[in-house]
Amino acid sequence: ISGDGFAHRERLVREIMQVDKCSWDEAHEKLIEMDEFNERFYWLQTLPYRLGISLAFFGGAGSLLLVFHKATAQLYAEKVAGEELPEGIEDISTLTTNQVGSWTWQWAEPMIGVASFVLLCMQFARAQAINMNMSAYTRWMLAWRARRAELHHPHYSAPMVRSWAAHLPRVGATFFPEWRRRLHTPEARKKNFRALYS
């Protein structure tokens, strides 16, 4: 069951049933409570990833605008880079998009080149840290989640609680988590496991 969140969840449901001497339905209600506790700091824990995704998106879109968009390129050239339009050009609208890119590349290339090299160095450093088995943020954060859940639910098997808690919910296209507990509400259980209720 290594790495399978659903398997860890079902194993913990069986543990709750055995320890609390309760039904499968009641065990799911308990697990939903545990899930809500476990996800209390979800937004804070995933903030670095969300910031990284947002910065990457806006950085990519911004670099396209700064290099190829006429109005943005001219504004940046005059206000930040201290550059003027190419010789013999009085209005940027007379330039093609490719010509604007050739003009802006004179000052954009060093910035984009340095940013690319910094990212390359950071990626290389991270790869070496993983080779040395250093604990990266994700591993540390998942271990913290698991330990916190284990301490809050000491009457259940510690390895089962830890393996269940060290898992992040899947994120959909909306950038919001798809909470698994929604799949296991009483209504969803009756719909998804009809055979148990007939």
Q: Read off the pLDDT of residues 58-108 as tens digits, 9 standing for 90 and up.
A: 999 999 998 999 999 999 988 988 888 888 888 888 889 999 999 998 888
- Average of per-residue pLDDT across 27-31: 89
Mean predicted lDDT score pLDDT of the chain? 87
The secondary structure of 17-61 as a DSSP string is HHHHT--HHHHHHHHHHHHHHHTTTHHHHTHHHHHHHHHHHHHHH
Does the predicted model carry a pTM greater than 0.75?
A: no
Res 85: pLDDT: 87
pLDDT-based confidence at residue 183 (cuts at 50, 70, 90): low
**For 161-182, what is the mean pLDDT?**
82
Q: Alpha-carbon distance 38 to 32, whole Å?
A: 10
Query: What SS3 class is residue 197?
Result: helix
Q: How far is CA 50 from the centre of its chain?
A: 5
Model pLDDT, residue 158: 94
pLDDT value for 194: 54
Q: Helices 24-38 and 137-152 sit at what angle, rounded to 10 degrees?
A: 130
d(CA 161, CA 9): 9
Percent of the chain with pLDDT over 90: 47
Separation in Å, CA 42 to CA 8, 25, 26, 133: 19, 26, 25, 25
Amino acid at 57: F
- What is the per-residue pLDDT across 30-59, written as a single tens digit (0 to 9) for each? 998 998 899 899 999 999 999 999 999 999
For the cut 80, the answer to whether the pLDDT of residue 197 exceeds it is no
170 and 178 Cβ atoms separated by less than 8 Å:
yes
DSSP letter (8 states) at residue 177 = B
* CA gap 149, 34 in Å, rounded: 8
